[in-house]
Structure 1
Amino acid sequence: MTPSQTPPSPEHILRAPKVLLHDHLDGGLRPATVVELAAEQGYDRLPADDPDALGAWFREAADSGSLERYLETFAHTVGVMQTEEALARVAAECVRDLAADGVVYAEVRYAPEQHVARGLSLEQVVEAVNAGFREGERLAAAEGNRIRVGALLTAMRHAARALEIAELANRYRDLGVVGFDIAGAEAGFPPTRHLDAFEFLKRENNHFTIHAGEAFGLPSIWQALQWCGADRLGHGVRIIDDIKVADDGSVTLGRLAAYVRDKRIPLELCPTSNLQTGAAASYAEHPIGLLRRLGFRATVNTDNRLMSGTSMSREFTHLVGTFRYTLDDLQWFTVNAMKSAFIPFDERLAMINEVIKPGYAALRSEWLFGQRGSVRS
């Protein structure tokens, strides 16, 4: 057997270069950091003061099936992210955690409007997070883990500040911000409510992704693409509703699914999170398996690492265990993600050719050397 036929080991999964496009800053805090920031700021509403117990509470609340409990988890993380120092610390730790997990490029999103409760301006929020990302990159490099991180500024779809946040993203587009996003409940809050923001971004030739097709389905995806012009789909997992698999295994794509595949529109799939929100019942039933076989521009992401108790390595491990994916498959997902990043084409190409492909080639060579060594012994 060869590396193209054999699922990689946990060590190889950890060391494999990874690219992450869908990760929420307020969904990835270290439990110990939440506890420490709460104590410093006098935030007394945490459900537990012990980091281990708090981490368990976050995961259990996210798994509870209760939307109210799930949303409460973010109230606590956002609650302690209201000062420049806290934002910079959380951002730096985020970068170091991702780099230690083998992530070489990431786009991390957050909603500046959620971090102004203590008087920060939107600009102060962005500059604090950007400073934290740069410090995290510096510390990660010193630890032997090189990573590049760009910020996505998110507007909340139930609020009325999308144009303001889009303008903010445009002002900081060459200063650490690589694009724009909208997030929040899909049902009742269609992306078309924020057409002025998307029209502005298109006039400025700027990039944006839209949370769509996570909970609401095909109409949300259609509006994000055809009315708003999204470059990527945040989740987009419900595109499976437009794909029919017959009893004999033959597959028929509806017009929207065919459009998404033909146009190579990236899907920011988040398997563990999708299980928590009910988009799939198990990893085996997650649409990513079929989407991979059909050649959609599928990518693998974490969404909220704290609430889902996950990382890129864990997401890959679940997929390897479920679908028997190999290093070739993991490279395919990773190259898909890098192709879809919101940085210039030449920089994406350099990451693919100088970091990602050599990294996977080295793992394959290591596997082959180990096999030869075991045969000789």
Structure 2
Amino acid sequence: MPKVMPIYGTRPEAIKVAPIVQALQADERFECVVTVTGQHREMLDQVNELFGIEPAHDLDIIQPRQTLNGVFARTLDGLDAVLEQERPDAVVVQGDTTTSTAAAVAAFNRGIRVVHAEAGLRSFDILSPFPEEANRKITGQIAALHLPPTRVSRDNLLREAVRSEDVYVTGNTVIDALMEAVAAQVPFEDERLAELEASGRRVVLVTTHRRENQGDAMRGVGRALARLARAHEDVTFVLPAHRNPVVREAVLPALEGLGNILVTEPLAYGEFTHLLSLSTVVLTDSGGVQEEAPSLGKPVLVMRENTERPEAVTAGTVRLIGTDEERVVAEVSRLLEDELSYRAMSTAVNPYGDGRAAERTVSAIAQLLGVGERLPEFEDGVSA
């Protein structure tokens, strides 16, 4: 029986790998050995608990104010011993985190086949997002099986001379996870969010954490939020604050004393999807939220200069606005004040998946390991 080892360490990875783990565990053809690094700790554990996943190995590498090199080194060193012990036939890594790239390198150096879920995303700027663009390109060089979520991502890989037989479009497993989580309607633990839901007020959901935005850009985002809150007193702006102290020190000072800005601790994934479903507008620099929100018909304003996820930009439900304070204020205000502009962006468009990405992923792994055949690819209706 082939042994497959999914390896992940952050909350975004956990969300997207969880459906794959569930599908592997339900398939009698495989032994699934879940391994986590703990690059994120509490947020990672929350996702595992939500989806009923108990890791077989936990490296617990997290340290205060950890550096990228420190994360990479501890992951590489810790995984080497686990790979020596388990000797899997394949490892599954997801996306573009430091954990995913270090895990891919560790497996490759031991002659273990690497399966790259969410492969082929490209911003074409090696420094933005940082370090994610470099991470996914490095992983793409050593993967044995590339699983792009869309045909746009597939075409990126083919242009990089990846063999077509090693590329298979699955859709994005984040949609699988989102469907399960939204259906659960996990209640809010924070009473302020429960009261907000009951009030029926419009909600702008804000998330920000990107390394390239830290510093002056993020301070500008804080000032923009404060201006928006003063100009739109009938709207509540909800900011689940990232635990990185650098993020909090940049954004939060400008928000003090504003009654319609609700700052919370990071939300467990079930609660976050509940809040996402209630939101009117989403303002973010996140990658995954760009995929989730359009699936729920929520307009997304992305505080970045480029994106490796262009499909929803093409569809019109995502707009790149950068971090300039004036533009952030103008773009959010336009969606709150102009019904036609809002309606143009809020039409539900889902170019990322149909809830069967994990099923397709497992079928591709089965073919790679000689125990099955691939299902038909996901047809997203989007081309490069």
State the TM-score, normalized to the length of structure 1: 0.30
Q: Which has the higher contact order (CA 8 A, sep 6+)?
A: 1
Structure richer in helix, relative to its length: 1
